[in-house]
Amino acid sequence: MNTKIGLLLPRSDMFPTLAGDILNGLKLVFKKKMDVAYTPSFIIEGTGNAADDSIIQKAEKLLLQEDVDLTIAFCSIFKLKELEGVFTAYKKPLLHIDLGGRILKKEHVSPNVLYHTLNIWQASYAAGRYAVNAFGKKAAIVGSYYDCGYQITEAFVQGLNEEGGKVEAFWVGPMDYKAESYDAMIEAIKQADPDFIYALFSYKEGEKVFRKIAGSEINGRIPILSNPLMNEETLEDYKIEKVTSIASWSLDDENPEMKSFITDYKSLYSENPNILSLMGFEIGQLVSKIIEKEHRIPSNIGEYMANKKIETPRGTVHYNAYNESYPATFKVRQFKFRKDNYQNVVTETLDASVASNQNEKFEESPLAGWQNPYICT
């Protein structure tokens, strides 16, 4: 059987190896677990920041010129309606992937489209609920100009408010963060005197913020609940204290499936996996499961996966009424420096079902903010 899979993959200045990491994780599944007769071929199209009209043209090229059996697209939610119309017209399946910075609406539901994410907004909603009970009701939100342009904050505040919490301060950094001192951020936190800080930054800017807080009087005094992307791939010892994050994953999880994934990935590619290669691996598991059972990819992939589940390094992943993946649990992760790097040590798990069907609460929220998908800059 010759299954052809097309991939629409963006670039990212924030994460330059994004496309390669996803592809490496995807290919690992087929190199390791499937009979060679079912190993698909991959046709890749670059899509820039995944938010302009060229993605529609490239999708049509994959369908009409390459005659692919499945298209996997990491693209903007603002392009989903157009893409859905194309794939419905040609009765072909679309698997949409991203980190989960946007909230799907009913208009995005189609039998031909399945959504697989790392569930960042759902974890943020759960984090808002968790924080009130773990730290207290008063929150100071500090975030980047970029990260606050998604619905991660909105989901967090919804969860916080449902538990009786309140936002005492909201500080957003400048667009050009490289010259920012973050003195104003520290002052805003001190004036608010919150029970905890919700920090919404990622990667390089997150590192700057950690250094600033670590050198301030609030370090260790006020607990920090951080965006999980602040805590990934960090080597420097900031001497920062009391940092917690909540996510659907931890690459430092001790469960056998995660350890096996990391061992196999390092063996094949001679480098450590990251969250993008993890997502690639999961969609490989999904596709391989479908091919092994059906010997094809059903055109109604969204409808086909309704109420089904797959086993992944994150644990069990289900699919809800919006044809979107959601995990069985969220991980509460303590950010700890061990030997020569930070680790996200899982200290407890939360039932993710509380966030699995929250989409309806956000149906009236406008699709505002950045056009490009989260971390595709």
Distance CA 98, CA 150 (A): 13
Beta-strand runs (E) in the chain: 4-9, 41-46, 70-73, 94-98, 113-117, 138-143, 166-172, 196-200, 224-226, 243-247, 309-312, 315-319, 325-327, 329-338, 341-351
Question: 4-119+253-327 has which fold?
Answer: Rossmann fold (3.40.50)
> What is the Cα–Cα distance from 93 to 290, expressed in whole angstroms?
12
From first to last of its 377 residues, what are the pLDDT tens digits of the chain? 689 999 999 988 878 899 999 999 999 999 876 555 567 999 999 988 777 788 999 999 999 999 999 999 999 888 888 899 999 999 999 999 999 999 999 989 999 999 999 999 999 999 999 999 999 999 999 999 999 999 999 999 999 999 999 999 999 999 999 999 999 999 999 999 999 999 999 988 999 999 999 999 999 999 999 999 998 866 677 889 999 999 999 999 999 999 999 999 999 999 999 999 999 999 999 999 999 899 999 999 999 999 899 999 999 999 998 999 999 999 999 998 877 778 899 999 999 988 877 888 888 888 777 888 888 87
How confident is the model over 58-90, as pLDDT tens digits? 999 999 999 999 999 999 888 888 899 999 999
Q: Which sequence spans correspond to the domains of the chain? A: 4-119+253-327, 121-247+330-361
Same fold, 4-119+253-327 and 121-247+330-361: yes
**Architecture label for domain 121-247+330-361:** 3-Layer(aba) Sandwich (3.40)
Reported as type and span, the H/E element at residue 203 is helix 203-214
Residue with tokens 């002052």: 187
Tens of pLDDT, residues 295-336: 999 999 999 999 899 999 999 999 998 999 999 999 999 998
Backbone angles phi, psi at 64, to 5 degrees: -90, -40
pTM comes to: 0.94
Contacts of 178 (CB under 8 A, 6+ apart): none
pLDDT of residue 1: 63
What confidence score (pLDDT) does residue 129 get?
A: 97
State the DSSP string of 56-92: HHHHHHHHHTS--SEEEE---GGGHHHHHHHHHHTT-
